[in-house]
Structure formats: C-alpha cells, structure tokens
Chain A
Amino acid sequence: MVVLRLAGKGRTVAVQPKAASGSLYRGREGMWSWVAHRIAGVLIFFFLFAHVLDTALVRVSPEAYNTVIGTYQNPVVAFGEIGLVAAVVFHAYNGIRIILVDTNTWATRNQRRLFWVVVGLWVVTMGPFIWRHLSHVFG
C-alpha cells in the first residue's frame, strides 16, 4: 500500500504524515527522532495550556500573578524549565530537518547525517542555556 501511494501520487507521502513516518523515516535514527519529535510536541502543547492559564492571572491582580509565579521560582521547577527548553529546541531543530528532508533531495538522502547535525546543534544550544539559567536560579 505504501509503495502504491508513493508510486502513484508522487508527493502523497508528504501529505500523509502517517505514511511518511512509516516509510521514509523508518530506521534507526529516523524512527527515534520521530518518536522524540512527537513526545516533545505533545509536551509543549500541554505546557502551553497551563502557561496561558497562569499568564491570565495578570488580569486578576499583580499579587495573584506574582504569588503564583513566585511558587515556580525554585530549583525543582528550574530543572523542569530546562526540560521544557530542551524539548522546544529539539522539536524546533528536528522540525527544520523534517521540512528539509521532505522538500530537498540532498537532505532526503542525508537525513540520517542531518539527525546528528540536529543533535549537535541541540547540545551547542543547551550548554550555554543551562549554564546561564542555573546561574540565575542559584546566583
């Protein structure tokens, strides 16, 4: 069935994420990056729901907002924030990789190599971020 769609409609594979993730991205790095991309996306989605609700407290009163934000300003939540940023940065870089792999033949052929580029950029971004964030929290 997958072959049939690929052959028959050319770009259909790109139109149907399910087919794409099941065929094009199968393999080692390809599959794990897909799982991680999905988990990160859902995580950010749930965060956004909570985030908009607590930001809405600025309409209640300055005290209400500051009290709730104040409860977040501790080392435990700081590590949660690092996790959130790690998910956002991975999802963003890997999202760009997906776009390239879908639209550019060089990238399609080198999608596995590009995955390690994503991992490299992710490490390079997270390093300075973690350092600065922790020095704010513990400084």
Chain B
Amino acid sequence: MSTTTSADSNRGPVVTDLTTKSPYERRTHSRGNFELWSWLFMRASGVLLLVLVFGHLFVNLMTGDGIKGVDFAFVAGKWSSPFWQFWDLLMLWLAELHGVNGVRTIINDYTERDSTRLVLKTLLFLSALLVMVLGTLVIFTFDPCIDPNSTLQQCTGR
C-alpha cells in the first residue's frame, strides 16, 4: 500500500495517473468505457444466468427420470416448444459471453507477453464464435421428426 507518488500528495490523484502505464498494469487504459460496460454486463448476465442455468439443471436432472431420461426424444419434447427454444438461446448467448468475458480477464491477469496474450485471446474469441453460431443453428434448425419413432403430434400428423 503505497501513497501517491505525485509531488503534491494532498492534491489527490490526477486523471493521467490512470491513463498512463503503471508498473502494475500491462496495458494502458485507453478503451473508453468498455471495462465499465463489461463490469455491468458480468453482473446483469450473472443474475439472469442464475435463473436460466438453475432452471435448466432442475428440469433436466431433478424432474422425471433425471439424467436417465435424457435422450433424443427428451430434447425433441423440449425444443418443440418455443418457450424452451428461447430459454436455451438466451442461456447459450449469456453464458458464452459471460464466460468469454471472465476468461478474458483471467488471460489479462496471467499472461506476461503480448504475443501469448494475442494467441490465447484469438483462440478464445474463435471458440466463442463457434459455440454461439453452432448452438444457435442447432436450436433453430432442429427437426424432431428425423426420429421415425417420434410420438410428437407434429410428427405423427404428417
């Protein structure tokens, strides 16, 4: 815990102290309000995720036959309802963005070299893109009727 290093310590900190590179920061602060929005997003998405993920785990693991009941027909039953499609879509996007943002912080904390950081973040963002695009496509292009044994009304009726 050091005191301020500026000449007149009673004047308090100057804004430039925060914008110039300090020995404790590996990157200068020049990204506007991005970190503020990211801080807010972590909290807002966290609260929503508590509801979404707990609901997901409760329905899939606690109700009915629990994990034993999870198979194609179970997924077909859920995704034939727009409610669960929307639930899963929101959960997918929020969890992935929240996770990416959290891991980004961790990479910033532990990487020492710029090149290492660049490589890790590139991998991170590519993996997030893959997960969000694939997950979204899967929810919207899902066809419960590719299962010939399906007992869903929408499949038996045609």
Residues of A within 8 A of B (CB): 1-5, 7-9, 12, 14-18, 38, 41-42, 44-45, 48-49, 52-53, 55-56, 58-59, 61-62, 65-66, 69-70, 72-73, 78, 81, 85, 88, 92, 95-96, 99, 102, 129, 132-133, 136-137
Contacts and interface: CB of A to CB of B under 8 A. Distances in A.
Contacts of A78: 67
A5 B12 CA distance: 10
Contact of B141 (A16, A38, A59, A70): A59
A53 B39 CA distance: 28
B144 to A, nearest CB: 9
B119 interface: no
A45 B103 contact: yes
A133 B71 CA distance: 17
Most buried by A among B4, B72, B73, B141: B72
B interface, over-half SS? helix
B102 A96 contact: no
Interface string B27-71: 000000001100100010011011001100100011001111011
Given A1-B22, A96-B46, A48 B142 contact: no
A17 B65 CA distance: 41
Contacts of B13: 4-5, 7-9
B67 A4 contact: no
B67 A15 contact: no
Contacts of B18: 5, 8-9, 12
Contact of B138 (A49, A56, A62, A85): A56
B39 A55 contact: no
B43 A99 contact: yes
Given A42-B103, A45-B102, A65-B75, A52 B1 contact: no
8 contacts: A3-B1, A17-B39, A48-B95, A56-B134, A58-B138, A61-B146, A69-B70, A92-B46
Interface string B109-148: 1000000000000000001000100110110011000110
Contacts of A99: 43, 46-47
Nearest to B39: A15
Contacts of A58: 72, 75-76, 138, 142
B106 A42 contact: yes
B156 interface: no
A94 B103 CA distance: 17
Given A15-B36, A45-B103, A52 B134 contact: yes
A95 B50 CA distance: 9
Contacts of B146: 61-62
Given A12-B18, A92-B50, A133 B67 contact: yes
